[in-house]
Amino acid sequence: MAQEQQLEVVNNGRTERTGWLLNSPDPPGFFHEIFSSTRRTILPHGTRNHSSLPKKSSASKAFSFLQGLFPILEWGRNYRATKFKRDLMAGLTLASLCIPQSIGYANLAKLDPQYGLYTSVVPPFIYAFMGSSREIAIGPVAVVSLLLSSLIQKVVDPAVDPVGYRRLVFTATFFTGTFQAVFGLFRLGFLVDFLSHATVVGFMGGAAIVIGLQQLKGLLGISHFTTKTDVISVLKAWYPLNFVLGCSFLIFILITRFIGRRNRKLFWLPAIAPLVSVILSTLFVYLTKADKHGINIVKHFKGGLNPSSVHELQFNSTHVAEAAKIGIICAVIALTEAIAVGRSFASVKGYHLDGNKEMVAMGFMNIIGSLTSCYVATGSFSRTAVNFTAGCETVVSNIVMATTVLVSLQLFTRLLYYTPLAILASIILSALPGLIDINEAYNIWKVDKLDFIVCVGAFLGVLFHSVEIGLLVAVVISFVKVIVGSIRPSTEVLGRVPGTSTFSNVIQYPMATKVPGLLIIRINSGSLCFANANSIRERILLRILRLLGDENEENGKDNIRVLVLDISNVMGIDTSAIIALEELHRELVSRGIELAFASPKWQVMSKLKLAKFVDKVGRGRFFLNVEDAIDVFFDPNMSASALHNC
Amino acid sequence: MAQEQQLEVVNNGRTERTGWLLNSPDPPGFFHEIFSSTRRTILPHGTRNHSSLPKKSSASKAFSFLQGLFPILEWGRNYRATKFKRDLMAGLTLASLCIPQSIGYANLAKLDPQYGLYTSVVPPFIYAFMGSSREIAIGPVAVVSLLLSSLIQKVVDPAVDPVGYRRLVFTATFFTGTFQAVFGLFRLGFLVDFLSHATVVGFMGGAAIVIGLQQLKGLLGISHFTTKTDVISVLKAWYPLNFVLGCSFLIFILITRFIGRRNRKLFWLPAIAPLVSVILSTLFVYLTKADKHGINIVKHFKGGLNPSSVHELQFNSTHVAEAAKIGIICAVIALTEAIAVGRSFASVKGYHLDGNKEMVAMGFMNIIGSLTSCYVATGSFSRTAVNFTAGCETVVSNIVMATTVLVSLQLFTRLLYYTPLAILASIILSALPGLIDINEAYNIWKVDKLDFIVCVGAFLGVLFHSVEIGLLVAVVISFVKVIVGSIRPSTEVLGRVPGTSTFSNVIQYPMATKVPGLLIIRINSGSLCFANANSIRERILLRILRLLGDENEENGKDNIRVLVLDISNVMGIDTSAIIALEELHRELVSRGIELAFASPKWQVMSKLKLAKFVDKVGRGRFFLNVEDAIDVFFDPNMSASALHNC
């Protein structure tokens, strides 16, 4: 007993720690993990704790449920007139930018202009009640408009069958909303993450160039519609008067933006410039009767409230599968933009945005939108920035904006008859530079070359083939990157960082010290599996053979006695890898080299125990950290024979 | 200066260590890695060191090159008569097992029996000169024979066009050899690893059952050939006399095997039992003229040396693409079996087998085989075990075996005319139980449930569809498993393990201690990327929000002040993940919580520096290990303001 105690003192509790490692409780089993991960995915977080709370009355329960669904019930109670004043100003600024943009984007979506305005009325209202972002500006956006038209015109040509085209747009919008709501309800928000940052940067850039080339058509005054979105079919003849008018106002808008950037107080100038352009150019055409001289004008413009489109949805047509497919693509793209926008502003203001709740809100706003003649709405990056700069406090600015658009629809739409198409093109064109983020692409190149390939893949795919192919290419490259990164066999030799018990890469830290006769190798692959275990085994063995046999090594011939394998980075191991480790063990034993394992992860340790690998190698060969492993082999108080009794 | 020195003493060199971390040399860049990994793959290892060796004469260089290609030149010089005696015994034992098996497997490959014997002559000779395994027994094997016939008879029906079928077999064998040699020369050996242990176990089991059901046909005496390998089309009528004969000898073989297992000295009994069965049954049929009474016999049997098959190879036919496709499948399967066999025996004897060299040897033996009327040969598991047990010393036992088969081909084949087909079926059937490894399948189930799914996928795919589909299913599941395992968002809370500076999972080590006001979270995903970074960010944030707000936590409300993020396990990071970390940082700052990073990996640190993330968060927030990070925040000598000056 006394001797045992002394040994305990000598080895500083190492034996006890090895005991902790070997006898730690079992990690959650496979089925338990599947179950708990499903539960965590389906059920909202925090459910676990609710059971221990004092029971609420059912009325108060219902109210807190409603509060969860409609956040307005929560913040609405603290809403004050001072806040409203700021929201009112922001909302009016937003509306002045939103009206011309909506008309332009409807044009991009190959719909009549009023549908863009409709989309700026109903979805913002719904979102105001259900959403939790305070800054996001809801409405039609350029990329989704392009996406919708490029996907749907493959099924129905809007020039040939405009009614059928519109019906398919509403049906696709309904599916978009449904998918978004389902993503949110079943907490599948991670699906949106599959579009990586690099994908989004490349995709947005490609889409912006495609939109730009399409809009050049409007600016040049070409009236012929093409159903394709690629570069070549868009470049056609031009008509000078439209071009001069469009360019003049494009320059005007760009100058106001430049001024707005130089002087923060004049932020409203670029925001109202598009509306001013529309009013001025419309007046110009009306007064000079320029439409008789070749200026293309909007013409079709139906005013009034959003009409119902319930009967326009088609669920029994042959196109329903197409509509669902388009719906899922639009759902993901729209959510990607909205959540990126919402989250970045939420983190500036320091509140937390629940992605899944946002998806439910977006879903419902699009479902109800599809029943009231709206197409897919989402959070617009440029308008959200304006809303934020204009000092919005809550989502009430969206309500103000929607009301303003509604009033305009009732009163002023008749006046938009003479609006030149070239102006709409110049408004859309002026919004595009914000989508092409060359700086960010350069940053991606600097930080991660493979990510840059993803970015370029998305860009070129969208530009030269189609939106879907661009996204598919980027997602596939992204996942191949994950696989390659995970199974790349990577090992590093460790040394002790002076003054610590940390062991680090000896190339990264040249000051790290090695112990003669000892080799510490860390496996740097998260998953030690069939695809890399043999390469890693071979690498380790070759390094040892070289050290043993090669007299040309810098340090001269090193008589390696012990190999400590730091497997702290190995998060998962499969049966092929365990067999490779067994082979490595046999190969080392036959060369008289001791093998020890340091810092195995919980799941890995459990699998090694289940596979009887721990018993084969010896229970005393597993250590909590590298230091303990070294101490055992190089501690004069601990004989090698004691090792086997551990 | 003095004050500085004192600070140095107080913080135990921590500042210096942070400097090491931040100023470590750049890791190898992207292009350098691509280049060096390509070089490492293409060029054999050790090239780097050769330049520093004293220059050899060109003759000695040529000799050492030849030695690399033909290992026999190396070990042949030390070959002694005592070794030959043991090799002779092993070779003869091997031949007695090999002759009946070869005839049976040729039948399985739907070729005339002599082709099986041819395949046991040329490939073993070639391998003996080029291969480096000492125990492996080369020749036809059951699974590859099945694979070849099941793939080729989809293109040419052997019953309709036996010559065309045979030509395609040789062409496919040629491609098999070519692919194997290319894999070896370009060091693509890792491709073979894509068939994981679980895949191989499932695949072998499925193939064995398919072979067994096919052979039942021979045992039952059904002469009708079916071109399909699935279960149902094989179960047909039967003929009793064949069955009785086949079963009797099957029972005889199984009994000898049982005896051989009980008494290690009688290992030769099961090895020669098949040959004895063939001789006895052939004599029986010859003497009783049982072939007139419905016993099916071999009949076609051409004796003599391997004829040339150079002119049978077809490279300009329409089937060449098919042959190449079949070749690559056979190449991978044959290599998988051979390398698994070779490596497991090499590790028992304690020598190292170079996988790529083995592939070159296998490739050449199959290329030359395809020119001399052989079909695909590889290392047989059952015969290698017999060779090993019989005490072989070198690959000379293969030469002995091949010579014996050659002599038999010359002298005794005429006698095999009367061999009953049922005996061949019973020999193949007796080899099948070794392929069905239920124990191993159970072990896989115990250790890794997902690996078991891979195993079952391969098994059911082969059994109910086809060989290719079975393999495809298993490989796809294996890779999905790698992806899911790598991107699964996983975090754990750490505490200090008493008596060490190691921080471990507090659930795994309940004795680990936490510091009040401090939360240490480790990210347990090897790749922090687009697919999991946001989920991880959200998880961490929710945990903090719960700790801050929830009064029902066990420890009561904990006023978290500092979050230390241990990113030691993160081996790769992409731009999406860096953005997620930036958001996390902003969210924590807005809640007044300090964020520090511990133990970043080299590549990760370099990317964080390139992305300017280190500057945004503060250079003093990155630490070599968790302990240093804690010391800074909880050390009274180090004020918070000093932190920002680091």
How many CA atoms does the CB half-sphere of A158 hold within 13 Å?
22
The residues in B 560-619 lying below 8 A from A, measured between CB atoms, are 568-569, 571-576, 578-579, 583, 586-587, 590-591, 599, 601-602, 607, 610-611
Our CA-based measurement puts residue A448 at a distance from the nearest CA of chain B, in whole angstroms, of 6
Question: What's the Cα-to-Cα distance from B568 to each of A315, B376, B524, B598, rounded to whole Å?
Answer: 52, 48, 9, 7
| CB contact B548 to A (< 8 Å) | no
Q: Is A198 on the interface with B (CB under 8 A)?
A: yes
pLDDT tier, B522 (very low <50, low <70, confident <90, very high otherwise): very high
The arithmetic mean of pLDDT across residues B515-537, rounded, is: 89
Distances in whole angstroms, Cα of residue A340 to Cα of each of A120, A211, A471, B174: 20, 21, 17, 56
Between B459 and B356, name the one with better pLDDT. B459
CB A399 within 8 A of CB A91: yes
The mean predicted confidence, pLDDT, of chain B is: 83
Token output for A330? 């639009």
Contacts of B25 in chain A (CB under 8 A): 507-508, 510
Q: What is the 3-state secondary structure (H, E, C) of A8-44?
A: HHHCCCHHHHHHHHHCCCCCCCHHHHHHHHHHHHHCC
- The pLDDT tens digits for B300-313 are 777 788 888 888 88
* Complex ipTM more than 0.90, yes or no: no
Helix (H) or strand (E) holding B573: strand B572-573
Q: Is B628 on the interface with A (CB under 8 A)?
A: yes
Predicted pLDDT of residue A49: 42
Q: What is the pLDDT of residue B41?
A: 59
pLDDT tens figures, B566-618: 999 998 898 889 989 998 998 888 888 999 999 898 889 989 999 999 999 98
- Interface contact B483-A487, CB threshold 8 A: no
pTM of the model: 0.80
Residue B478 has pLDDT above 70, yes or no: yes
Angle between helices A14-22 and A626-634 (to 10 degrees): 130
Q: Please say if the pLDDT value at position B48 is more than 50.
A: no
Q: Is B498 in contact with A13 (Cβ distance < 8 A)? A: yes
User: Is the Cβ–Cβ distance between A376 and A235 less than 8 Å?
Assistant: no
Instruction: Give me A212's structure tokens.
Output: 């730009």
Q: Which residues contact B471 (CB under 8 A, 6 or more apart)?
A: B195, B199, B203, B329, B333, B458, B461, B462
Helices (H) and strands (E) in chain A, counts: 29, 10
- Residues B581 and B570 sit within 8 Å (Cβ to Cβ): no
Say yes or no for a CB contact (<8 Å) between B482 and A479.
no
Q: Give the span between the Cα atoms of A329 and A168, in whole angstroms.
A: 15
Interatomic CA distance for residues B316 and B187, integer angstroms: 29
| Chain A residues touching residue B610 (CB < 8 angstroms) | 446-447
Which residue stretches of chain A have pLDDT < 50? 1-10, 45-54, 224-226, 233-237, 551-556, 638-646
Which class in CATH covers the domain with range B488-645? alpha beta
CA distance A486 to B571: 9
pLDDT band at B223 (very low <50, low <70, confident <90, very high): low
**Percentage of residues in chain B having pLDDT higher than 90:** 24
Chain A hits for B575, Cβ within 8 Å: 196-198, 443-444, 447-448, 451
pLDDT tens figures, B371-381: 999 999 999 88
H or E stretch at B355: helix B355-371
Sign of CA dihedral B636, B637, B639, B642: negative
Residues of B in contact with A347 (CB under 8 A): 583, 586-587, 590
The predicted model gives B54-62 an average pLDDT of 69
Burial of B154 (0-12, 13-18, 19+ CB in 10 A): middle
pLDDT at residue B646, rounded to an integer: 41
The per-residue pLDDT for B637 is 53
E strands, A599-643, in order: 622-623
Of A614, A600, A610, nearest to A572 by C-alpha is: A600
Residues paired with residue B495 on neighbouring β-strands, in sequence order:
B504
pLDDT level of residue B431 (50, 70, 90 thresholds) = confident
B219, B251 contact by CB (below 8 A)? no
Cross-chain residue pair A569–B572, CB shorter than 8 Å: no
> CB distance from B525 to chain A under 8 Å?
yes
Instruction: Quickly count: other Cβ atoms within 10 Å of residue B559's Cβ.
Output: 9
Please give the span between the terminal C-alpha atoms of chain A, in angstroms, as a whole number: 16
Write down the pLDDT at residue A640.
44
Rounded Cα gap, residues B386 and B579, in angstroms: 60
Q: Does A9 touch chain B (CB under 8 A)?
A: no
Domain-wise residue ranges, chain B: 80-482, 488-645
- Say how many CB pairs under 8 Å bridge A and B: 274
CA atoms lying within 13 Å on the CB side of residue B318: 3
Give the per-residue pLDDT at A551: 47
pLDDT at B2 over 50: no
Which residues lie across from B139 on neighbouring strands?
B378
